């Protein structure tokens, strides 16, 4: 599948790849198309995360509200607080 990235918006920025694992799984379960920009670069060189601007979670605007709900659920759940 070809994804047109120009339509996608940044929802969150993470510093390390391990922070994205649970989010990625939940977005897949919800069938929300997403991209983690710079994920591979930061995986290779984690100390340069700041130079790359971190790992940017991008989603299509139609999925923006649902994605924010998923991210907000982590802020309110002490057991899964990763962002």
In the chain, the number of structural domains is 1
Average pLDDT over the chain, rounded to whole? Answer: 86
User: Per-residue pLDDT for 38 more than 80?
Assistant: yes
Higher pLDDT, 1 or 48: 48
Residue-level pLDDT at 37: 93
State pTM to two decimals.
0.82
Residue-level pLDDT at 5: 72
Please indicate, yes or no, if residue 82 is contained in any of the structural domains: no
Going from the C-alpha of 34 to that of each of 3, 37, 50, 59, 71, the distances in angstroms are 9, 9, 21, 5, 13
Which domain covers residue 40, as residue numbers? 5-76
Spell out the residues 6+ positions from residue 54 whose beta carbon is closer than 8 angstroms to its own: 13, 14, 15, 38, 42
Higher pLDDT, 38 or 80: 38
Please indicate, yes or no, if residue 66 is contained in any of the structural domains: yes
User: Per-residue pLDDT for 31 more than 80?
Assistant: yes
Please indicate, yes or no, if residue 81 is contained in any of the structural domains: no
Mean pLDDT throughout 12-23? 90
Please indicate, yes or no, if residue 40 is contained in any of the structural domains: yes
Please indicate, yes or no, if residue 11 is contained in any of the structural domains: yes
């Amino acid at each position: 599948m070809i994804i047109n990235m120009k339509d996608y918006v940044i929802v969150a920025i993470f510093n390390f790849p391990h922070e994205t694992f649970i989010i990625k799984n939940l977005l897949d379960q919800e069938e929300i198309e997403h991209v983690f920009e710079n994920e591979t670069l930061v995986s290779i060189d984690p100390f340069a995360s700041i130079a790359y601007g971190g790992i940017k979670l991008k989603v299509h605007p139609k999925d923006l509200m649902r994605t924010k709900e998923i991210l907000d659920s982590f802020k309110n759940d002490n057991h899964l607080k990763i962002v």
